[in-house]
Chain A
């Protein structure tokens, strides 16, 4: 009986956070998309032959839904209120950067710098431990370098998630799978409050995926994609699951790395003239053969044969599932040491 009570105490907050995150995001998306359409905040779905106009910045619904569900987590973990505050403020700062980028165009060089501001609340509130645990090695001491790594981590996760938001459901699908791995890993290290935060994010992402999957009815935009990446980065630091989170985010990081390595600098999709992907007359997508086009994960997936948009997203989610399994194995290697 006591065991059942313990189980309930451990998993109930996460289950409730997931439900609240899902419900709030799901209910907020239709009104937010109506407002965006009304004010002309729409973007072209470039991977469709008829190029429909889709409401942008609907990631605001995800931001509000997940932020509100942290109140549920705070109700169960009152002693962790500073950590929850750090999570909320870090992710909201990055969401504001995303909103500014959509409305004013910040630029490819300034945006990653501004996203590092998301690390400031974590550093100022001192809610991190500069002793990350590594597989086969155990606890390490990185007192000086760890704060710098926090700045890098938030920028890398936020921007790499943003760079994979290229197809209908690609970001919500891949990041949902990565977040499942983070929920499991944080439970493995006994950080129930961070697992509940991750569950809230998972709920929001699943709700958004319903609207964003092929054919998309809404777009996340930078406000939602940068927020999601920063949330995953913050969860990794606060939950002390840095290496596992890095492994879970491998498809997003691979995609960003290939693009950067090929182009040789930070870039925005709109400023690249040689597109990595082209649309065939039958609506399928094909990899560009232009040698100057950036090499992205989607171009690598399409290198073998042209595919429909939702098939590319499926491949991406499969790769994320592999990374999620490796992330859990990584965390088990740390825990079992």
Chain B
């Protein structure tokens, strides 16, 4: 039960941050960049949005990996039980 709860919390974290990232990428970024790039044109706006979206994606994946791996290491070191190989 505790195993499922821990992994469920990771799934919830990934889901919420995925939706938040999508909102930032598709709603907030074009609005912000359009204000900055009024003079420089739409192409630059698209490049900036794509670049920032990539950075957000990488940060999101790194956060996800760190959270999952730290959770795993903590559980593994806490539950040391002799388990011989067969």
Q: Are the C-beta atoms of A250 and B72 separated by less than 8 Å?
A: no
Instruction: Evaluate contact between A247 and B86: CB separation under 8 angstroms.
Output: no
Given contacts A254-B11, A301-B3, contact A306 B72 (CB under 8 A): no
Residue-by-residue, is B58-79 near A (CB-CB < 8 Å gives 1, otherwise 0)?
A: 0001001100110110011001
Chain A minimum-CB-distance residue to B86: A279
Which chain B positions have C-beta within 8 A of A303?
A: 3, 72, 75-76, 79
The interface residues of chain A lying within 8 Å CB-to-CB of B12 are 322, 326
Q: Does the CB pair B86–A281 fall under 8 Å?
A: yes
Q: Is the CB of B15 within 8 A of A250?
A: yes
Q: Is the CB of B86 within 8 A of A278?
A: yes
A104 within 8 A of B: no
- A38 smallest CB distance to B (angstroms): 31
Size category of the A interface is 35 or more
| A304 & B83 in contact (Cβ 8 Å cutoff) | no
Tell whether A304 pairs with B2 under 8 Å between CB atoms, given A136-B23, A250-B14, A289-B76.
yes
Residues of chain B within 8 A (CB-CB) of A251 are: 11
Name the residue on B nearest A49 (C-beta): B86
Bitwise, B24-60 to A at CB < 8 A (1) or not (0) is 0011000000000000000000000000000000000
Binary per-residue interface labels of chain A (306-337) against chain B in the complex, 1 for a CB within 8 Å, 0 otherwise: 10000000010011001100100010010000
Nearest-Cβ distance from residue B67 to partner chain A, whole angstroms: 11
Once bound together, how far apart are the Cα atoms of A326 and B8, in whole Å? 11
A254 touching B83 in the complex, CB below 8 Å, given contacts A140-B26, A315-B3: no
User: Do A280 and B15 touch (CB < 8 A)?
Assistant: no
A286 touches B83 (CB 8 A): yes
Cα–Cα, bound, A137→B30 (Å): 12
A86 close to chain B: CB less than 8 A: no
- Chain B interface residue count: which class? 20 to 34
Interface of B is mostly: helix
Which residues in A have their C-beta under 8 angstroms from that of B68?
A: 254, 258, 295, 300
Interface on chain A toward B: helix, strand, loop, or mixed SS? helix
CB within 8 A of A295: which of B27, B69, B81? B69
A301 to B6, CA, bound (A): 9
CB within 8 A of B26: which of A137, A280, A295?
Answer: A137
> Which residue on B lies nearest to A306, using beta carbons?
B83
The listed residue (B27, B69, B81) touching A137 by CB distance below 8 A is B27
Q: What chain A residues lie within 8 Å of B64 (beta carbons)? A: 257
> Which residues on B sit within 8 Å (CB–CB) of A281?
84, 86
Q: How far is the CA of A304 from the CA of B4 in the complex (A)?
A: 11
B11–A326 touching, CB < 8 Å: yes
Contact indicator A319/B86 (Cβ below 8 Å): no
Is A287 positioned at the interface, with any CB of B under 8 Å from its CB? Answer: yes
B residues less than 8 Å from A315 (CB atoms): 3-4, 7
Do A280 and B11 touch (CB < 8 A)?
Answer: no
Contact with B along A263-292 (1 / 0, CB 8 A): 000000000000000111100001101000
Interface residues of A in 220-255 (CB under 8 A from B): 243, 246-247, 250-251, 254
Q: A135-B22, A318-B8 are in contact. List 17 more A-B contacts (CB 8 A).
A: A134-B26, A135-B19, A137-B27, A243-B22, A247-B18, A257-B61, A289-B83, A295-B68, A299-B72, A300-B7, A303-B75, A303-B76, A304-B75, A304-B79, A306-B81, A319-B4, A319-B11
B: residues with CB less than 8 A from A are: 2-4, 7-8, 10-12, 14-15, 18-19, 22-23, 26-27, 61, 64-65, 68-69, 71-72, 75-76, 79, 81, 83-86
